[in-house]
Structure 1
């Protein structure tokens, strides 16, 4: 092997090491997430049980909860639906327990998710894992803007990138 081949390989190894260290130490990352969603689309919820409270405008779904809105899909053990009585519309969805959120080709897992329906903002918290094809990003929190199709991950962000095979 030539000297130039060794120096090129050494430079590549050093670059990969530096990128790995930067990715591991990062505290925040912004990425695309599944394309744009439609917070105005109908929301469909299915579950094993449903408890409704007319007094406080809440409905709680439990067991194998599945939520669909446009291209977005969410699964969890429990889902609390909070209604805005003045607007006569759903204000928030609060999912707990093994939350999985899928939008287009991207998927995220977390312990909890809070979805502000009017703004199209979703906050995932607790051991967040985002997968995009073969790549993965983990963090403590992920803020998702469904209308823009972007996500911001914060809190000890770690990224694993799989280069294309040649």
Structure 2
């Protein structure tokens, strides 16, 4: 998790260097790098895999890494639901990640306690102490909903934002 430590260290420096951050109850944000083609194949690597054919679910655990195009997700555990349950076609319908979830795409990174990625609707919902970094800017809240088709999102739950300007003032 060296990457995450670097993000947190950078965020700490960013937070400590600014006075008077903007506070809000909710924030609409643009996610340019998170605009994403959810029809791309999903690749998953983990230390362990358990499959339940009856429910059409698979549980990946231990250092789970999920990739789809340029988007990467890491977590301790990811439950994968396939379309059709027992008569599954093998097409992934939904991913539920828990345990130190990190989502990275381009220059944007988000972390939370858990995340649900519904592939059909191209939506990711991250919950629990969500932290989003976009370059030198940072947002935190309790829930982040991202629409990957539109590249937009909404952060909720006592949102705290820090924006750095390029002017150096």
Normalization by structure 1: what TM-score?
A: 0.83
Correspondence for 2:8? none
Inter-partner Cα distance in structure 1 for 2:111 and 2:78: 15
CA RMSD between the two structures: 1.6
Give the superposition deviation at 1:67: 0.4
Correspondence for 1:11? none
Correspondence for 1:82? 81
Correspondence for 1:114? 116
Correspondence for 1:29? 27
Inter-partner Cα distance in structure 2 for 1:147 and 1:41: 13
Correspondence for 1:43? 42
**Preserved CA contact (<8 Å) 2:65 2:73:** yes
Measured against aligned partners, the alpha-carbon deviations of 1:89-138 in whole angstroms (never above 9, x if no partner) come to 21110000000001121000000000101110000000000001111100
Inter-partner Cα distance in structure 2 for 1:104 and 1:87: 33
Correspondence for 2:154? 152
Give the superposition deviation at 1:163: 2.2
- Equivalent positions of 1:1-166 (< 5 A) are 20=21, 23-24=22-23, 26-33=24-31, 34-85=33-84, 88=89, 89-164=91-166, 165=168
Correspondence for 2:6? none
Query: How many pairs align?
Result: 146
Detail structure 1 runs of 4+ shifted over 3 Å in the superposition.
Answer: none
Bigger Rg over Cα: 1
Measured against aligned partners, the alpha-carbon deviations of 1:24-58 in whole angstroms (never above 9, x if no partner) come to 1x111111121420110000000000000001110
Normalization by structure 2: what TM-score?
A: 0.82
